[in-house]
Amino acid sequence: MTNLDSLFNPKSIAVIGVSDNTTKLGTIIYNNIISEGYEGRVYPVNPNYKEIFGNKCYPKVGCISDAVEVAVIVIPSQFVFDVIKDCAEKKVKYAIIISAGFSETGKEGKKLEEKIVAYASKNGLRILGPNCLGIAVTRNKLDATFAAQDIEEGNIAFVSQSGAFNTALLDLAMKKNLGFSHFVSLGNKSDLNELDFLEHWLKDDRIKVIGMYIEEFENGRDLLELIRKNSLKPVVVLHPGETQEAQKAISSHTGSLAGSSIITRTALQQYGIIQVDGIEKMFNTLMILSYSKKTKGDKVAIITNAGGPGIIMTDEIVKAGLKLAEPTEKSRKLLKKSLPAAASVNNPIDIIGDAQADRYNTALNIAIKDQNIDSIICLLSPQIVTQIEETAKLLINFSLTGEKPVIPVFIGGRYIEAGLERLYNNKIASFDSPENAIYALKKLTDYSLISSRLKVASSDSIFKGESKYSNEILKYLSDKSTPLPENLVRKLASEVNFDLPKEAVVKNIDEAILFANKTRYPLVLKASTEDISHKTDFKALFLNISNENELQSAYIQLKKNIYNATNNKSPIILVQEQIRADEELIIGTNRDGDSLVYNNGKGFGHIVLFGKGGIYTEVYKDTSTGLVPMSRNQIMEMIDKTKISTVVKGTRGLQALAYEKLIDTIESVQKLVLLYPEIESIDINPAMITKERCVAVDIKIFVRK
């Protein structure tokens, strides 16, 4: 684990590139550090000044007599290398390179960046950036960023690959009074990356929530391993690039290739990482996780002074996958007794338009004791007699003291502002629209429920085996995707016990009939791969052979066809049982990045894909994915996310198909890529499932270094 103590709380900081021009970034950072009241020593460095703002200015870091732990570098990129050398000589521990003009600008910049990092790492100097906004650690009163926004103290640690995302989030935080413990801009993350910070923060008890904006993850497997070992603290991630267009934009933004979005999302989801997809959504999710209590379940009650908006809220709750709570009989009786006749005592609990704070109080007191209710939305619209600030005060009290989340949602604009401001100032997770509130509440609920049952399959449980065909595979291994030949695929399939169609190579019709008598009709007769690969097209496949007569005539015909096409008089002919599938499925796997050895790989490794196969594969795209390794339970969860799983499991009056055999097949796929990480992809399409079997009819395997 990287020791970040010196970076977070340096005894002394040098700022390289300070001048007397207060609009320059170097000066802004220097002034930010000073004005926030940082208690360590701060040294301005600039060869052109003897003194800056009354303080002695140094020509270079080496001239500072004191030890320097952190250097903040804010000078044009072409001068950075020399300063880095200077810092290394001075035994500076961390250099924060604010300057732009490196890998984000193209090849030249990339070379320069690599040169700097290579030199630094040889000399024990770690680098944050370049091309970053800086770092802030509120508990140490350290603000070494050039953000104009003040950063308040709080329990959220945030790291981001986009400086602009950071400033927007900070600006919102300033308005709504959300606090952070750490605020880090990674820039080009030439050296320090999100994992260095994550590892530190997961172990820091004063941090309650971790947020990350990451366009490309480094070392995906390491990230997951960190999370697996510390899965109780909520980690919220915004990983843009769901669409191809956005992935292209990422490439042009960061100068490198974006990873596969679906693999990343699958991996994050499987490890209980909370994913959001917008700036406001990130903010609201951080806020609710920072302030609110966990919820015990997904049943939500609405207390509202507004009928129509209560209905809109109901739609939002159900559409988000939460449940509308059903208050107990007792609660309803109590509500009926205490509320006006026109009120509705079901959920939404409509305390009607003339409700003042006392009526919210009445309803809340009942709802908060109701065991059928897990969380409470308090919806307020600014009607003529509404006591906006009084109600806010009341809700602050209930939020802070109650045992379940009480979430104020004040809808409107002008008049509700004072109410919301009071709520934000008192650290209550509050919202100005039903959509935003329910989005955040859903994240809180998911987190509350998942964190109590998250069982990630550990890498210790990785299947170990002999990998006895590694040498054979080696022959096909190169930088390009290469398909394995049929016979090697068969060997691998047998090694992990795939259920394959029974088949035999037959030399004459008698052998074919012998096979037919041992197996069952219908059968398939086909030419060998060798003969088929011959140039001339010919009918090489006979399906639906249902009795001995048909077998004989098909055999004769096929032999004739092969002879006509290839002149081969004694061809190899394959006879195979024909599977009548109840459902055609697709099972596959794909590898992300270079995962030959997971620990050194950049990507997340293999994911398994499962779904409806056959002609509907592309029509319904009914698939789900899971990251290898999965426990048997996780495989079931993956299957159950598809719609076709209802057919496999035999709901709706249909007989169940071989669900357990399907799980076996997926486990076999998983075993195969764990035995042979050089496998880049496996494609079983179709896998034929019947009431008794799950047969891998057509298997394709590609390998790549």
At closest approach, how far in Å is the CB of 555 from its own copies? 24
Site for its own copies in 9-68 (CB under 8 A): 23, 25, 28
Rounded Cα distance, 633 and 386, in Å: 51
- The type of residue at 249 is A
| DSSP, residue by residue, 3-70 | --HHHHS-SEEEEET--S-TTSHHHHHHHHHHHTT--SEEEEE-TT-SEETTEE-BSSGGG-SS--SE
At closest approach, how far in Å is the CB of 566 from its own copies? 28
**Nearest to 698, CA basis, from 602, 581, 618, 616:** 581
Cβ atoms of residues 100 and 132 within 8 Å: no
Rounded Cα distance, 590 and 602, in Å: 15
Q: Does residue number 415 form part of the binding site for its own copies (CB under 8 A)?
A: yes
Q: Does residue number 509 form part of the binding site for its own copies (CB under 8 A)?
A: no
Place of tokens 């009786």: 333
At closest approach, how far in Å is the CB of 631 from its own copies? 27
Q: What track of x and - describes contact with its own copies for positions 322 through 361 (by CB under 8 A)?
A: --x----------------xx-x-x-x-x--x--------
Stretches 195-203, 305-313, 529-537, 539-547: which one binds its own copies (CB under 8 A)? 305-313
Contact residue for its own copies among 67, 505, 654, 656 (CB under 8 A): 654
- The type of residue at 680 is E
Exposed / middle / buried, residue 481 (Cβ in 10 Å: 0-12, 13-18, 19+)? exposed
SS3 percent helix, strand, coil of the chain, rounded to 5, is 40, 20, 40
**Helix/strand/coil for 76:** coil
Stretches 408-416, 480-488, 570-578, 588-596: which one binds its own copies (CB under 8 A)? 408-416
Stretches 11-19, 204-212, 383-391, 452-460: which one binds its own copies (CB under 8 A)? 383-391
Contact residue for its own copies among 67, 118, 164, 543 (CB under 8 A): 164
At closest approach, how far in Å is the CB of 547 from its own copies? 14
Stretches 88-96, 116-124, 304-312, 558-566: which one binds its own copies (CB under 8 A)? 304-312
At closest approach, how far in Å is the CB of 645 from its own copies? 9
Place of tokens 């990785």: 462
At closest approach, how far in Å is the CB of 66 from its own copies? 29
Cβ atoms of residues 2 and 198 within 8 Å: no
Q: Does residue number 196 form part of the binding site for its own copies (CB under 8 A)?
A: no
Contact residue for its own copies among 96, 173, 440, 696 (CB under 8 A): 173
Q: What DSSP character marks residue 484? A: P
Q: What DSSP character marks residue 344? A: B
CA angle 191, 192, 193 (to 5 degrees): 110
| Residue (5 or 277) nearer to its own copies, CB | 277
Site for its own copies in 557-616 (CB under 8 A): 615-616
**Nearest to 438, CA basis, from 527, 343, 319:** 319
Contact residue for its own copies among 381, 445, 578, 681 (CB under 8 A): 381
Rounded Cα distance, 531 and 533, in Å: 5
| Residue 381, CB-side half-sphere exposure with 13 Å CA sphere | 16
Stretches 202-210, 512-520, 563-571, 645-653: which one binds its own copies (CB under 8 A)? 645-653
| Residue (169 or 699) nearer to its own copies, CB | 169
Contact residue for its own copies among 8, 38, 165, 271 (CB under 8 A): 165
Rg, the chain, Cα only: 32
Instruction: List Cα–Cα distances, 13 to 34, 47, 93, 96, 217, in angstroms.
Output: 11, 17, 10, 10, 30
Site for its own copies in 245-284 (CB under 8 A): 245-246, 248-250, 252-253, 277-281
Place of tokens 């507004």: 306
Applying CB under 8 A, what is the total number of residues that bind its own copies? Answer: 96
| Residue (357 or 696) nearer to its own copies, CB | 357
Q: Does residue number 1 form part of the binding site for its own copies (CB under 8 A)?
A: no
Site for its own copies in 63-82 (CB under 8 A): none
| Residue (238 or 636) nearer to its own copies, CB | 238
Site for its own copies in 210-229 (CB under 8 A): 213, 215
Q: Does residue number 134 form part of the binding site for its own copies (CB under 8 A)?
A: no
At closest approach, how far in Å is the CB of 597 from its own copies? 31
| Residue (282 or 457) nearer to its own copies, CB | 282
Q: Is the peptide bond before 686 cis (omega within 30 degrees of 0)?
A: yes
Q: Does residue number 104 form part of the binding site for its own copies (CB under 8 A)?
A: yes
